[in-house]
Amino acid sequence: MDRVVSLCKRRGFIFHSSEIYGGLSNTWDYGPYGVELKNNLKRSWWKSVVYERDDVFGMDAAILMHPKVWEASGHVENFFDLKSDCKSCKKRFKVADLKGSKKCPECGGELTEGRPFNLMFKTYQGVIEEAASAIYLRPETAQGMFVNFQNILDSKHPKLPFGLAQIGKAFRNEITPGNFTFRTREFEQMEIEYFVRPEEADKKLEEWIGARFNWYLKLGVRKDNLRLRPHGKDELAHYAKACTDIEYNFPFGWSELEGIANRTDFDLKQHSKTSGQDLQYFDNVKKERFYPYIIEPSGGVDRTILALLVDAYNEEKVKDDLRVVLKLHKDLAPVKAAVLPLLRNRPEIVELAKKIARDLKKNMVTVYDDTGAIGKLYRRQDEVGTLYCVTVDVQSLEDKQVTARHRDTMQQERVPIDNLKNYLEEKLA
Ligand code: ATP
């Protein structure tokens, strides 16, 4: 884990937020490669759940919502963790993490009784704090989809089963954040709300569990590092009838990447009751009105990024050297090609390399680098997971060919410059 965290900082994937001020604890910023990886991940998710299906539509709801939403959803009343403070060292713990112990895990001191702590971030909307109404930063993106259920019915006229998909920020005032980007107070979720006939809910839950598990495998996550864990009755959220987590074997143990829950008709019923709007679905073949059940696959962008980085991190012995390489899936790798001049003191070579990079940039994420000897440049690209290193040498000036080196096999091939774009596009397809 330490090596992944260090690589993330060294190479510009993830930085500690507000670091020049000592950092804001458990808050992270994505740098130039981090944001590419994150965008690639979100694009891959969107493609698999929206573009490749005809029953799921995309959405992008606001973070701020009417305060009644959180009363209806049960978050004002139920979205609590029990916290306990150490009377000696003053550290704060989540009671669930203490596993029944009454002693401080840090110093052995006496702990206070568990007290409920609402995880929602409260803020004020309006200019004068006193007069303004209190609102919350959403703790999940899901509610933005439930409150738009009727708008979707009226504008898209979908038939059940159908779903909505959304990627966006969520905020939780976690008692014990930590493990790098695993648990933070500000994070991004990728959520699907899939509306089904109640009698189909169990079957659809199983289908989504399978589909979502396979998505991680398709992204190259090692199967040994993934498992499914159905929730016990005592762990279920207040709205859920059943839930299965997809867990990843993180360096700190098996932990949740994504939860796939049967939320029943809880949310639509609650919003109907609280808003006075009838959110039932009308089946005009069977002439029935009813509240659909909702199957919710809900994953975290930041947790998945962490799992992908840990999974892709490799250290290999090459001759007497240690090669660190991020073997990210080709769709996820932040950089597809790096163009590197073999001799940086030869202007014709540098010029040609720069031109090749300029041309490639129109079709794929490409970088140009001439700030070191070739061995160092390769090492740098391996560490960010660049798929192909293209070197331009003296011979390139004559035979109009370059050398393409594949990240994982390190095999090299001479490729005509005219054909380089096609060659790489074929490999990346
Ligand atoms: P946990 O039990 O780890 O707190 P949860 O069961 O409360 O997670 P859900 O409410 O199911 O999480 O949220 C769905 C997904 O959102 C999680 O699977 C996770 O990927 C992500 N997520 C939730 N809380 C956080 C957080 N504090 N930091 C980063 N990602 C989070």
Domain assignment present for 323: no
Inter-residue contact 93 to 105 (CB < 8 Å): yes
- Determine if ligand 1 sits within 6 Å of the CB of residue 297: no
* 135 CA → ligand 1 middle, Å: 21
Tell me the pTM. 0.93
Residues 164 and 289 in one domain: yes
* Cα–Cα distances in angstroms (integers) from residue 59 to residues 68, 88, 149, 158, in the given order: 21, 48, 11, 15
Residue 301 lies in a domain: yes
Residues 361 and 215 in one domain: no
The answer to whether position 326 is within a domain reads no
Give the C-alpha separation, 300 to 308, whole Å. Answer: 12
Mark whether 10 and 43 lie in a shared domain: yes
Beta carbon of 191 within 6 Å of any ligand 1 atom: no
Q: What is the Cα–Cα distance from 132 to 310, expressed in whole angstroms?
A: 45
Tell me the residue range of the domain where 411 lies: 335-428
- For atom 28 of ligand 1, the residue with the nearest CA is 183
Report the distance separating Cα 66 and Cα 138, nearest Å. Answer: 10
Distance 318 CA to ligand 1 centre (A): 39
> How far is Cα 366 from Cα 77, in angstroms, rounded to an integer?
50
User: Is the beta carbon of 174 within 6 A of some atom in ligand 1?
Assistant: yes
Do residues 296 and 236 lie in contact, with contact meaning Cβ atoms separated by under 8 Å?
A: no
Residue 300 CA to ligand 1 centre (angstroms): 7
Distance CA 170, CA 303 (A): 13
Does residue 394 lie within any of the structural domains? yes
Query: For ligand 1, is residue 168 a contact (CB within 6 Å)?
Result: no
Q: Which DSSP symbol is given to 424?
A: H
**CB 292 less than 6 A from any atom of ligand 1:** no
Find out whether the beta carbon of 263 lies less than 6 Å from any atom of ligand 1: no
Cβ contacts of residue 382 below 8 Å, gap of 6+?
A: 323, 324, 325, 326, 407
Residues with Cβ within 8 Å of 274's Cβ and at least 6 positions away in sequence, in order, are 68, 71, 72
Whether 328 is covered by a domain: the verdict is: no
Q: Are residues 212 and 260 in the same domain?
A: yes
pLDDT tens for the chain, 429 residues long, are: 999 999 999 999 999 999 999 999 999 999 999 999 999 999 999 999 999 999 999 999 999 999 999 999 999 988 888 889 999 998 989 898 888 888 999 999 999 988 888 899 999 887 766 656 889 999 999 999 999 999 999 999 999 999 999 999 999 999 888 899 999 999 999 999 999 999 999 999 999 999 999 999 999 999 999 999 999 988 898 889 999 999 999 999 999 999 999 999 999 999 999 999 999 999 999 999 999 999 999 999 999 999 999 999 999 998 888 999 999 999 999 999 999 999 988 999 999 999 999 999 999 999 999 999 999 999 999 999 999 999 999 999 999 999 999 999 999 999 999 999 999 999 999
Query: Are 89 and 71 found together in one domain?
Result: no
Domain count, the chain: 3
Q: Closest Cα to atom 1, ligand 1: which residue?
A: 256
Question: What is the rounded distance in angstroms from the CA atom of residue 189 to the CA atom of residue 353?
Answer: 40
